[in-house]
């Protein structure tokens, strides 16, 4: 199987590359060689032979997206449609990642069939991409993933949430974390395992899937668990979302119901603290 992986320098792309390179032929060009903003990029991709195209490229800085909507839509939506069209022409499978931020429900775990309501430009650009992919080519997988953490931090950042909490707590910094915003933490390693299975088993149950670890937690609960596992004593101060006075709206509950992916991929997904523990071990915070 030949795989074209875009965005392999990022948090998720690097985890997928790490997993797939042992199993199949992966072409993983850099942003420099295939920039989505370069008018020649679609033509270059057309010339590559592949059975699967995995797109991990995205512009996902909320502030930047809000200030630069045109650029955000170019990368997160318009070019994604181009990729989907290339896949259709080649009869290749298109694997794309969307976000838990398309949801806005207040209480329960969000299901793929629930009504969606993007609250900011980033989420809107991702939701638009979902619609375009769906109406263009039937061989697609869109995984709505959530608060991601991987060995490599998000592109352009020094740390992910976990590393940043540990660093601050070690310096005895005062930590204020929101306790009424809920999500399902997603390990990049888990996502990579699902993608590996998708290719190895040639899974053809195309469509939109939620993908995260099992269960949900607030950011406050997540931060407390991190410090508890690592053994740092630092009292985190719980704050309400409204107290943060954020300029850009975020949904209050993006926790995900993952029963569809578990069923269709016949995969066993564990609770979020299992993947957190695994990450902390891999990063050598704990033995």
Ligand X SMILES: NC(=O)c1ccc[n+]([C@@H]2O[C@H](COP(=O)([O-])OP(=O)(O)OC[C@H]3O[C@@H](n4cnc5c(N)ncnc54)[C@H](OP(=O)(O)O)[C@@H]3O)[C@@H](O)[C@H]2O)c1
Binding residues for ligand X, rule: CB under 6 A, are 7, 9-13, 31, 35-37, 56-60, 75, 97, 99-100, 126, 145-148, 154-155
Distance, first Cα to last Cα, the chain: 37
Q: Whose Cβ is closer to ligand X: residue 71's or residue 232's?
A: 71
Q: How far is the CB of 262 from ligand X (least distance, A)?
A: 19
**Residue among 127 and 273 whose Cβ is closer to ligand X:** 127
The residue among 7 and 251 lying less far from ligand X, judged by its C-beta, is: 7
The CB-of-31 to ligand X minimum distance in angstroms stands at: 4
- Min dist. Cβ of residue 15 to ligand X (A): 8
Q: Judge contact between 188 and 15, C-beta under 8 A.
A: yes
Least CB distance from residue 109 to ligand X, whole Å?
A: 16
State in angstroms the smallest separation of the CB of 5 from ligand X.
10
Map residue 209 onto helix, strand or coil.
Answer: strand
Q: Which residues pair with 5 in a beta bridge?
A: 54
Letter string b/e over residues 88-114, b meaning 16 or more CB atoms within 10 A of that residue's CB: eebebbbbbbbbbbbbbbeeebbebee
Of 92 and 148, CB closest to ligand X:
148
Rounded CA gap, 101 and 184, in Å?
A: 12
**Is the Cβ of residue 184 or residue 224 nearer to ligand X in the bound state?**
184
Report the nearest approach of ligand X to the CB of residue 235 (Å).
26
Closest distance between ligand X and the C-beta of residue 129, in Å? 9
Pick 147 or 187: Cβ nearer ligand X = 147
Positive or negative: CA dihedral 28, 31, 33, 38: positive
Q: Which is nearer to ligand X, 142 or 229 (CB)?
A: 142
The residue number with the shortest CB distance to ligand X is 10
CB neighbourhood size of 224 (10 A): 20
Return the closest-CA partner of residue 101 out of 136, 148, 134: 148
Cβ closer to ligand X: 61 or 136?
61
| Longest pairwise C-alpha distance within the chain | 56
For the bound state, the minimum distance from the C-beta of residue 53 to ligand X, rounded and expressed in Å, comes to 13
Angstrom CA distances, 212 to 17, 90, 118, 168, stand at 19, 30, 19, 26
CB 179 within 8 A of CB 239: yes
Confirm if 13 and 6 have CB atoms less than 8 A apart: yes
- Between vectors from CA 264 to CA 260 and to CA 268, what angle results, nearest 5°? 80
């Amino acid at each position: 199987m030949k795989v074209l992986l875009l965005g392999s320098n990022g948090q998720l792309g690097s985890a997928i590359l790490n997993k797939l390179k042992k199993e199949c032929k992966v072409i993983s060009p850099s942003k420099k060689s295939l920039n989505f903003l370069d008018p020649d990029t679609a033509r270059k991709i057309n010339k590559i032979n592949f059975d699967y195209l995995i797109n991990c490229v995205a512009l996902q800085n909320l502030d930047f997206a809000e200030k630069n909507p045109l650029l955000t839509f170019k990368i997160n939506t318009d070019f994604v449609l181009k990729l989907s069209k290339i896949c259709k022409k080649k009869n290749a499978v298109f694997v794309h990642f969307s976000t838990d931020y398309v949801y806005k429900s207040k209480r329960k775990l969000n299901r793929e069939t629930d009504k969606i309501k993007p609250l900011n430009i980033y989420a809107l650009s991702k939701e638009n991409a979902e619609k375009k992919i769906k109406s263009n080519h039937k061989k697609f997988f869109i995984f709505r993933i959530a608060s991601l953490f991987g060995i490599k931090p998000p592109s352009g950042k020094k740390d992910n949430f976990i590393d940043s909490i540990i660093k601050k707590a070690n310096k005895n910094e005062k930590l204020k974390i929101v306790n009424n915003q809920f999500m399902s933490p997603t390990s990049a390693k888990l996502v990579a395992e699902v993608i590996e299975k998708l290719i190895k088993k040639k899974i053809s149950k195309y469509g939109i899937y939620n993908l995260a670890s099992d269960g949900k937690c607030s950011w406050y609960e997540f931060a407390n668990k991190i410090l508890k596992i690592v053994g740092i004593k630092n009292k985190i101060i719980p704050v309400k979302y409204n107290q943060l006075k954020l300029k850009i709206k975020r949904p209050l509950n993006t926790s995900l119901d993952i029963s569809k992916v578990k069923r269709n991929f016949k995969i066993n997904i564990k609770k979020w603290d299992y993947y957190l523990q695994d990450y902390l071990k891999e990063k050598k915070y704990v033995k």
